[in-house]
Structure 1
Amino acid sequence: MWTELLESSAGIENIYLGDPPRLESVRIHEISLNREGPVLKLRFDLPKYPAKAPKKWVSQGLNTVQLELCLGGVRDVTLRMEQLVPQAPGFHSTERARLLANCEMLVQ
């Protein structure tokens, strides 16, 4: 499970009762690179809302879990555009593409 690779997975594990969703077909909001580190940050929505969400989330009407993963020791990053799909709101071109990201990291 992907949470085993996190420095601290207790929050995600608790919210999803030990069964967090797979990281497939997540909606990526942001990818950023920082030369100091080097660090790659991914901000995305998880594909599944927890069955027993915290009461505070429910009372505020929240319906999505968004994560920011910080990946350290990045050595190589490849971003590749795949199949073109209809334009989404906020895009400035006439078409948008599915973005695939592959990262190779040094494990220290």
Structure 2
Amino acid sequence: MTVERFLVEPEPLRSLYGRVPDLIGIRIRSVNLNRRGPAVTLRVDLPSFPEMAPQEWIDAGLDTVQCQFQFTAVERISLIDWAPPVFGTIETRPLGTERRMRVTAGGGGLSLNFTCSDSVRVAHVSAFRITESGSDDGVHLFMSKLDARRHTSLPGTEDRTFYER
């Protein structure tokens, strides 16, 4: 099942794609576990570049869209494997009537399962030009005005405001 039905604010992705893309065949770049949430944040490259990309992205020659999905009130987490680069899928399935869901993220090099709140936040939507090696180093143009003001590339993993909120 797609994550779209669980997104709190899907508009950034809908404005680019017309809908939220299925999370199949994506590159899962990072898994951030935050005990204070408890939360899991997945940073991913979406499966295709949008036809309705901002002209600024097209003019800059960017070809990949990246974002973060944050899952909160996480329980029963199981992380069996993490060997990036990971190409895989994120699947969601509602659990009963308690506004909870089961999330499974997997592919070659990753096996992650957990239950969480059925409210998912999408954040830090950006575009960049992927390198031949698959790296996302370099210039990122962010959709959010605040992100665009603060960042021209991905911040280091110590930047808690970027990776944990």
In the alignment, what sits opposite 2:116?
105
Deviations 1:69-97 (A, max 9, x none): 11110012112339x9xx97xxxxxxxx5
Q: How far is the alpha carbon of 1:106 from its aligned partner? A: 4.0
Runs (5+) with no aligned partner, structure 1: 89-96
What amino acid maps onto 2:65 in structure 1? Answer: V
**Structure 2 counterpart SS, 1:103:** strand
Query: Which is bigger in relative contact order (C-alpha 8 A, separation at least 6)?
Result: 2
**Structure 2 counterpart SS, 1:61:** coil
1:79-90 to structure 2, matched below 5 A, reads: 79-81=79-81
RMSD of aligned alpha carbons? 2.4
Does residue 42 (structure 1) correspond to residue 53 (structure 2)? The answer is: no
Percent identity among equivalent residues? 30
The count of aligned residue pairs is: 96
In the alignment, what sits opposite 1:10?
11
Larger radius of gyration: 1
In the alignment, what sits opposite 1:58?
58
Runs of 4+ with deviation above 3 angstroms = none
Contact 2:71 2:117 in 1 (8 A): no
Contact 2:26 2:44 in 1 (8 A): yes
Q: How far is the alpha carbon of 1:61 from its aligned partner? A: 1.2
Q: How far is the alpha carbon of 1:47 from its aligned partner? A: 0.7
Runs (5+) with no aligned partner, structure 2: 86-107, 120-165
What amino acid maps onto 1:4 in structure 2? Answer: R
**Take 2:3 and 2:26, find their aligned partners in 1: how far apart are those partners?**
14
In the alignment, what sits opposite 1:25?
25
What amino acid maps onto 2:112 in structure 1? Answer: A
Q: How far is the alpha carbon of 1:48 from its aligned partner? A: 1.1
**Take 2:42 and 2:76, find their aligned partners in 1: how far apart are those partners?**
15
What amino acid maps onto 2:113 in structure 1? Answer: N
Contact 1:75 1:106 in 2 (8 A): no
Q: How far is the alpha carbon of 1:30 from its aligned partner? A: 0.5
**Take 1:34 and 1:46, find their aligned partners in 2: how far apart are those partners?**
23
What amino acid maps onto 2:17 in structure 1? Answer: Y
